[in-house]
Amino acid sequence: MLELNYKPVLPARMDCGIGICGAGGIVNDAHLPAYRKAGFKVRGIFDLDGDKAEQTAARYEIPKVYSSLEELAGDPVVQIVDVAVPATQTHGVVEVVAGAGKALLLQKPLAEDLETARRTVALLESHRVLAAVNQQLRWDPGVRACSDLIGRGLLGEVYNLSLLIFVDTPWHLWGWLKEKATIDVLYHSIHYLDAIRFLTGAQPERLYADGSTCPGYDARGETRVCLHLGFAGQLRATVLTNHHVAFGLEGQQSELRVEGTEGAVIRRLGLLMNYPKGVSDGFRYTCRGLAKGQWLSTELEGSWFPDAFVGPMASLMRALAGEIAAPETAVQDNLKTLELVFAAYESMRSGQVVRL
């Protein structure tokens, strides 16, 4: 059986100090469990809601609760500020933290519009601080394993990627999100667009998007989408989501498919089915060069949540230590993902294909 290379590369030194800004759901359910498993050092935490910061600190044995963002940013034991606040708050947090010269890991989406995202990146560049975005799907064990197969040439020329997501998403868990005019692409499929860019190493030339919701559903923005990305040559990628498939687990699907001239991969992202409990992930692949006509199945360790959250932080730490030139999901790279997100909304509005 082929040994697949899919685990995140950790920094040589593990003593880089993390200060967390935001003690909400994702920090408690994903950042901190992942960092604990990896052995990262969280030095302190701040939240506008002091009680939440206190509770999270107690739960994860974080030694310090700061009374202000300035205090966090100024703490000499903190080298990286890990920001997980609503996107509308991110630019303001960056102003303080970048001003203090600290590196940042920012949650996706970097901003709710492209202009603000570009202003945030310009601000970070003016302070010469390193910053990355938490697009952790790239570090999902199955996405990494797929990238390994592509890198070894075992899939041949990759010409088709599809994300087929037919699930029953409990949007009511995020009441604030249902009020947004832009939901699925900006907050969910952004991960797929980023993973497609990662796996193909290419930027599409054109994009078509259609967004809608379920009849009678009261969300303001789109909760079902069809995205189609055309690249140079024969390469195409499609994202199909419907978050209203509420007829039990049978008939649901949550899959990344990658097809090449010499092989194919099917990755099941189990978390999205029966969320937030999830079902098991899956990873199946076939390569003519390995075992013609045979599909192989491999158990990969870890999952998209929380394990993949190690990746963006490890990559930022490595860049900060000079082990790599830039974090893999550097803010500059993330603008290219956001360009696709906002092209999708332009396409939805106009009903036309957007040339990129």
Ligand X SMILES: NC(=O)c1ccc[n+]([C@@H]2O[C@H](COP(=O)([O-])OP(=O)(O)OC[C@H]3O[C@@H](n4cnc5c(N)ncnc54)[C@H](O)[C@@H]3O)[C@@H](O)[C@H]2O)c1
| Cα–Cα dist 190/273, whole Å | 18
Answer for which of 5, 13, 14, 25 binds ligand X (CB under 6 A) is 25
For 294, counting Cβ atoms within 10 Å of its Cβ (0-12 exposed, 13-18 middle, 19+ buried), the class is exposed
> Does 104 sit near ligand X (CB under 6 A)?
no
Q: Binding string, 130-169, against ligand X, x = CB under 6 A?
A: ----x-x---------------------------------
Query: CA angle, 135 as apex, 268 and 336 as ends, to 5°?
Result: 115
Q: Binding string, 174-213, against ligand X, x = CB under 6 A?
A: -------------x--------------------------
Of the pair 116, 298, the CB lying nearest ligand X is at 116
* Other CB atoms within 10 A of residue 87 CB: 19
> Does 23 sit near ligand X (CB under 6 A)?
yes
Residue number with the shortest CB distance to ligand X? Answer: 24
Number of residues located near ligand X, criterion CB under 6 A: 25
| Minimum CB–partner distance for residue 277 and ligand X (Å) | 16
The stretch near ligand X (CB under 6 A) out of 22-30, 139-147, 200-208, 341-349 is 22-30
| Minimum CB–partner distance for residue 50 and ligand X (Å) | 9
| Residue 211 phi, psi dihedral angles, 5° rounding | -130, 145
| Cα–Cα dist 35/38, whole Å | 5
DSSP states of 17-68 as a string? EEEEE--SHHIIIIIHHHHHHHT-EEEEEE-SSHHHHHHHHHHHT-SEE-SS
Residues that bind ligand X (CB under 6 A): 21-27, 46-49, 52, 69, 84-87, 89, 92-93, 107-108, 134, 136, 187
